[in-house]
Amino acid sequence: MSEDPRDWFDGRARVLFVHAHPDDETITTGGTLAALAEAGREPLLVTLTRGERGEVVAGPLAALAGAHGLAVVRQNELRTALGMLGLERHAFLGAPPARAAGLPPAIYEDSGMRWGSDGRAEADGAAGADALTSAPAVEVIADLLAAADAAGAGAIVSYDDGGGYGHPDHVLAHRASRAVALALGLPFWEILGRAEAAAATAGDDPDPRHLRAEAHDVSPWLDRKTAALRAHGTQLVVDGADLVHVGGQRESIGTTEAFALRAAPQAGD
């Protein structure tokens, strides 16, 4: 794979990244976003919710958990993180330019989750009327379509079918992103987890729906990615070369970010 970000995603400019909550963009795609921005490829980020129902790291910010003010804090954290990544083009779904024409601005709230017996996230049954997953799917898709069209998106990047780890907002992000990519005739790239990335980039991708994969060495932009991670102080802690999630899960800060080009859906897919 080329080390030049101008060659990534088949050399397409204005790649649209669709993420569910603030911090998702940095954890899984922060290095790629920083690299594309520095290379003048004008990446665009659409964040679907403000992460209102996210847990909060223990410490002085813990009182924000479940509080109305958490959404404001997470918006500010995201703004700071995007500054660290050098990303200038961002919108929340429901707000122009990520709002369908003729509709008043809307806020899609975090749908929440719980951990299932299989270790993956699942719906917790407590999503409110304003939650992303409570909204009509056609409205969510129309808003995202407006964003992609206004930006002149050249490709779309989001999660795989399972939303990465199962969060219902991530799953919906995948479905809406694929629908928009299909409607506009754009390539759709799925974010690969580390195990999937290792297999796919070695030519041993078990998913026949992937046309090919590419892995980005984001080491030159690691400082930017790490600084952006630190900005998300309610959600994670940076500990040396690792990040520690709010639930205590520890992982190394990725220096490789991988994506797979998904084939157009077939009947029943």
pLDDT, one tens digit per residue, over 96-109 is 999 999 999 999 99
- Residue 194 confidence (pLDDT): 83
205 pLDDT higher than 70: yes
Q: Which CATH class is domain 5-262?
A: alpha beta
206 pLDDT higher than 60: yes
pLDDT, one tens digit per residue, over 6-62 is 999 999 999 999 999 999 999 999 999 999 999 999 999 999 999 998 888 887 666
Query: Who's near 92: CB < 8 A, 6+ residues apart?
Result: 46, 47, 48, 49, 50, 75, 98, 107
Mean pLDDT for the chain overall:
92
pTM for the model stands at 0.95
67 pLDDT higher than 90: no
Query: Who's near 74: CB < 8 A, 6+ residues apart?
Result: 21, 22, 23, 50, 51, 52, 54, 232, 234, 235
pLDDT, one tens digit per residue, over 110-164 is 999 898 999 898 889 889 899 999 999 999 999 999 999 999 999 999 999 999 9
- Residue 267 confidence (pLDDT): 53
Q: Amino acid identity of 42?
A: E
- Residue 199 confidence (pLDDT): 79
- 242 DSSP 8-state letter: E
Q: Distances from the Cα of 236 to the Cαs of 9, 62, 179, 249, 253, in angstroms?
A: 29, 12, 31, 10, 12
- Residue 179 confidence (pLDDT): 96
